[in-house]
Amino acid sequence: MDWNWQQSDWPHFSWDAQVLRQAEEQFLLGGGLLAGVFKHLQQQDCYEVTVEASCDEAVITSEIEGVLLDRASVQSSIRKQLGLPTDRTRIPAAERGVAEMAVDAMRGFQNELTEDRLFTWHRMLFADQHRASGGGVLHQVGCYRKGRLDMEIVSGPVHARRVHFVAPPATRVPGEMARFLDWFRDSGLPGVTRAGLAHLYFESIHPFEDGNGRIGRIISATALAQAVGEPVPIALAATILSRRREYYVALESGSRSNEVTAWLRWFAGVVLEAQRRTTAQVEFLLDKTRLIDRMRDQWNARQEKAMLRMFREGPDGFQGGLSAGNYAAITGASAATATRDLADLVEKGALLRTGERRHTRYWLAIPERSAAPVRIDESGGIQ
């Protein structure tokens, strides 16, 4: 079977818009509510929420491609670019670059997507001495890929290699990208549909030697922000990571035909789940700030260290709850001291306790916040 770009109707995608109608309505409603929450935050809280959410997305979009970054360094770089105080003066190039790309995309979400802007993002993404995702050296940075060899996405050992996608030859990339950028500017499609098509379209061209997935997700996030009219972060990468296997299957399937209703249904479910994740994250961060402010002069250094460790787990909480053993491992406290510290945190209303004896577990004393998976059925219903 030919790939989508080899077919006669490329790149004239077709889909059933009625199937996406309810998802588009839900996205705009949720986007308006989330933007409203941001507008009513105190400026410092808004900055902190933006830093946390942007940092999560920057780190996770790299993790999807197998690139592991130091979260604290990415966060420090984002804070520095936003003019916020940070205690780190030396930040590795890879972490600085992905942070710069995230902030540039957020600040300039209304700017036209151009070739120069894509090249700038690519240079930011590979600021770390042109190091490629697989650990090798990337030779073509800040430009479209060149060369005569096919660009293939493969898996498995050499003797049993599976080809998941073959991209257009490099000679076609400049023309294909010029057409893509015109389409992105002029399509006039609803937000979720435009973001989903943009991602599939961009990935099908696969214009860069490396980094296509990360830049493709930034393009989708930009389309969603433009639809809402606000640069509100959305947990798109985090949601895709939780469905990474599905993501690659859906992309491969979507690249085999230019009738893309199935891909857009899958992507719409991801977007709605991502929006709910973001809402849960914002509410969690606000609850976290209130609890930290209330406890600031009431906990000791050990308790603060353990609580901040729990907060890093996010809205889903510390998996399985915090035990006295976990507390001792985190803080270096003795068993007796751990038990006393935890009992004190419960008494002060910072933690909740469940279970008895060796089954005793401790949980943050804030409302549970999570986002269940969202699926769009064949009729457009939201599950």
Q: What confidence score (pLDDT) does residue 218 get?
A: 97
For 196-241, write each residue's pLDDT tens digit.
Answer: 999 999 999 999 999 999 999 999 999 999 999 988 889 999 999 9
Amino acid at 119: F
Res. 370 pLDDT band, cuts 50 70 90: low
CA distance 327 to 342: 8
Closest CA to 106 of 44, 58, 177: 58
Topology given in CATH for the domain delimited by 300-383: Arc Repressor Mutant, subunit A (1.10.10)
Taking residue 14's Cβ as centre, other Cβ atoms within 10 Å add up to 11
The answer on pLDDT for 40 being more than 70 is yes
Mean pLDDT, to the nearest integer, of 131-160?
79
Which long-range contacts link 104-107 to residues 24+ away (Cβ below 8 Å)?
105/218, 105/221, 105/222, 106/50, 106/54, 106/225, 106/231, 106/233, 107/231
CA 45/CA 24 separation, integer angstroms:
29
- Fold (topology level) of 4-283: Fic-like fold (1.10.3290)
3-state helix, strand, coil in the chain (%, to 5): 60, 5, 35
If one compares 35 and 188, the residue with the highest pLDDT of the two is: 188
What pLDDT, in 10s, does the model give residues 86-140? 887 789 999 999 999 999 999 999 999 999 999 999 999 998 755 556 656 777 9
153 DSSP 8-state letter? E
What is the Cα Rg of the chain in Å? 23
Find the length of the chain: 383
Within a 10 A sphere around the Cβ of 129, how many other Cβ atoms? 10
CB under 8 Å to 166, separation ≥6 — which residues?
3, 150, 151, 152, 153
pLDDT at 268: 98
CA distances from 372 to 24, 29, 227, 267 (A): 18, 18, 24, 15
289 or 79: which leads in pLDDT:
79
Q: Are 342 and 327 in contact (CB under 8 A)?
A: yes
Candidate from 27-31, 186-190, 229-233 with smallest mean pLDDT: 229-233
Residue 214 CA to residue 219 CA, distance in Å, equals 9
1-10, 19-28, 108-117: segment of lowest average pLDDT: 1-10
Q: Are 362 and 353 in contact (CB under 8 A)?
A: yes
pTM: 0.86
Q: Give the Cα separation of 127 and 115 in Å (integer).
A: 18
Q: What are phi and psi of 219, to 5 degrees?
A: -65, -45
Task: Please provide the average confidence, as pLDDT, over all residues in the chain.
Answer: 91
Instruction: Give CA separation, 156 vs 18, 64, 159, 161, in Å.
Output: 39, 18, 8, 5
Instruction: Look at residue 71 and tell me whether its pLDDT is greater than 80.
Output: yes
The residue among 382, 377, 176 whose CA lies nearest residue 261 is: 377
| pLDDT tens-place string over residues 335-361 | 999 999 999 999 999 999 999 988 999
Q: Minimal CA–CA distance to 220: which of 157, 271, 288, 178?
A: 271
pLDDT value at 5 more than 90: yes
354 three-class SS: strand
Query: What residue spans define the domains of the chain?
Result: 4-283, 300-383
Partners of residue 322 on adjacent β-strands: 362
DSSP 267: H
Q: Determine the straight-line distance between the first and last CA of the chain, rounded to whole angstroms.
A: 33
User: From CA 32, how far away is CA 53, in angstroms rounded?
Assistant: 18
pLDDT of 159:
74
Q: How many CB atoms lie within 10 A of CB 168?
A: 20
The structure tokens listed for 19 are: 């199937």
Percentage of the chain beyond pLDDT 70 is 96
pLDDT one-digit tens code per residue, 248-306: 999 999 999 999 999 999 999 999 999 998 888 888 878 888 898 899 889 999 999 99
Domains 4-283 and 300-383 in one fold = no
Q: How high is the pLDDT of residue 138?
A: 79
